[in-house]
Amino acid sequence: MNARSCLSGRRLSVFLLGLYSLVTAALAGDDVDASAVTLPRRFDLATARELAINHSRVIAQARERIREQEGVIIEAKAAKKPRVDLNTNYDATGENRIESFGGLFAPIGQKWSSDVSVAYTVLDGRFRDSTTQAAEASRAAAAAQMEAVIDDVLLQVSERYFDALLATDQIDVQEKAIGVLDEQLNYAKNRFDAGTGPQFDVLQAEVARANARPPLVRAQSRYKTAIDQLRRAIGLEYPEGVEADGIELAERWPNAKQRETLGNAIHQAMENRAELAALKSQIAAGEKSVEAEKARHKPKLEVVGGYGAQSLSFTDDITDGLAGFVGGVRLSIPLYDGGLTRGRVLQARSRLRQTEISTEQEKLNIAGQVREAWFDWEEGTSILETSQLVVKQAEEALRLARASFEAGAATQLDVLQSQLELTRARLEEVVALHTYHTALARLRRAMGAGS
């Protein structure tokens, strides 16, 4: 083996590394530009949820945490494989730095060495096994945490979608109210023009019509706010030239029912919640971490070997050298570390216990979340049933008031008051719809059944 062969080997390594970098960069350039995707102009709840899964930054961060743990697993498994190293050195020394001993040969100003070494750990007290198992459990915990993140994002999307639906219905109610008031105003004007009605009725109808305008404007503003919050929850920008008021919801209130009892809901939550699955995996990782820390104080046996070559010290030819194999066994037995291992084991056990306590608290929190969502759902169900009945009664009351007014048996104030009560009833109904569906989505999220 000579210096030329060593240098050519290094050039080959650099070339291969550069080629790998170019290929990696080329593959990275093929990725689709996520910024090219924008919010659809019209979409339903299912589409909104699907878009959120693909474009939410929060979910993307959770995916990256899984990739991080996969890297930890690769790192842990690498310790189970042999280590192969190539070391090459070349030194040149000026003539004024070379000490001469006389004789036929004097040290030359150049020297080189190159060797390939292999090392493999045979025994380590199961440290590598425990570390790998801990990493795999942490990866499972990260996957479960991502499921929880997805559930949270989907719940947020559903809530924002329902907020926009509520604003849409409020706009519809206010527009219907204004339409009825316009009819009443025209009727009052016609009667006044015909000389059969007082001007007071016209002024009264105009005031009622004007008072109905601000609630409509506020509802329209709430719609734009809800759409923008929905857009942010999904993680997309508006299409070019479009703002919140140009986005339309393609679906009305879903036909969703809940048939589980409270006890069954809590039981399902304990079985299905991703947060509990993540904590369970974290406990498993903690147990393996304790084992790994204990293994640090156990004997370690390593087999080593290699092949190397080096230049001669006294020669006039730089290509002259010696080459050969080396091999051996290394045994390391820890005797005393001043309590280092004991301290590490104590820390690992404490982290494990903290995770166990967090699991107990999380179970209490989840049961509380289910109960709160259940109570809100019961409230929404009761109010929705009542409000739907009240709307029917208010519609009939308005019909009777208008008939009585046209027959001269009631005043215009009676009609306007009936219209106001109908508007209130309809607004209460859409709020009840919002409360019901939002509470049901939160209940399903609390149960771990999606939202």
- Among 62-66, 111-115, 418-422, 439-443, the range scoring the smallest mean pLDDT is 418-422
* Closest to 299 measured CA to CA, from 331, 341, 330, 328: 331
Left, alpha or beta for 330 (phi > 0: left; psi -120 to 50: alpha)?
A: beta
Distance CA 110, CA 91 (A): 6
Q: Where are the beta strands (DSSP E) in 125-254?
A: 248-249
Question: Is the whole-model pTM more than 0.75?
Answer: yes
pLDDT digits (tens, 9 = 90+) for 169-200: 999 989 988 888 888 788 788 878 888 778 88
Higher-confidence residue: 255 or 114? 114
Question: What mean pLDDT do residues 346-362 have?
Answer: 97
Contact (Cβ atoms closer than 8 angstroms) between residue 148 and residue 43: no
The CATH classification of domain 40-89+109-311+322-447, taken from the options 2.40.40.20, 3.90.1150.10, 1.20.1600.10, 1.10.1040.10: 1.20.1600.10
Distance CA 372, CA 156 (A): 17
Name the token pair of 183.
């009819």
pLDDT band, residue 20 (cuts 50/70/90): very low
Strands (E), 211-299: 248-249
Spell out the domain ranges in the chain.
40-89+109-311+322-447
How confident is the model at residue 6, as a pLDDT?
39
Which pLDDT value is given to residue 388? 87
Report which residue type is found at 428: E
- Range list of β-strands (E), 192-299: 248-249
Q: What mean pLDDT comes out for the span 385-403?
A: 89
- Scanning the structure block, which residue is given the tokens 């709430």? 222
For residue 90, report the phi and psi dihedrals to the nearest 5 degrees.
-140, 130
pLDDT digits (tens, 9 = 90+) for 135-151: 999 999 999 999 999 99
Output the 3-class SS for 108-152: CCEEEEEEEEEEEEEECCCHHHHHHHHHHHHHHHHHHHHHHHHHH
118 bridge partner residues = 84, 305
